[in-house]
Structure 1
């Protein structure tokens, strides 16, 4: 599980859902959608510290030309390490918020011709990010 700390910077509420923006550092803000509101969850308050969590299998890897897609959470990173398996590969990515671990198909690693020290974009869908206190 990837776990990073940040502060809630913005909350948009619609009925029982909240789109929560979390400021990770001065350059990176991640968004998530939660089935809670500030009225039902006291931690949902601007400025509160939260942990951002997402599974290694939920990280999508792309090249620079993948910026025009609907995934809102995009983090520039450099491939630090690739451990290839028969079916799946484990990538460790160095980013401005810390090391991100991604598990993707080994076939995708080969198709994208991913190598260590290559710059990539790590992407996570808003519905795949969880928050904790």
Structure 2
């Protein structure tokens, strides 16, 4: 589980760092984002800080095997909420490549921190 948590921390941390450091570059680079409306650099950077906070919690959870549950919950507040919003968006769109993209890039990485929490593996 530690390897999974480290991988998720790196994934979300890199995304957040890019959002904070180059919000308009992130907007242009991520497939499908431009289809959601006009870019707002301040808002993109704000969301990037959420990804960095979640990545920090995941990295700390990877380091601290016993008692990692609260750290996972903290990460899931943002990541799970973000994933849930994308699921709700699915109901407004026909099944398309965008849905598959969101499943792979948003839902899976956003909900994978549930695995160690649900398995009760505070010590692994």
The structure where helix makes up a greater share of residues is: 2
Does the TM-score normalized on the shorter chain lie above 0.5?
A: no
Question: Greater CA radius of gyration, 1 or 2?
Answer: 1
TM value normalised by structure 2: 0.26
What's the TM-score once normalised by structure 1's chain length?
A: 0.25
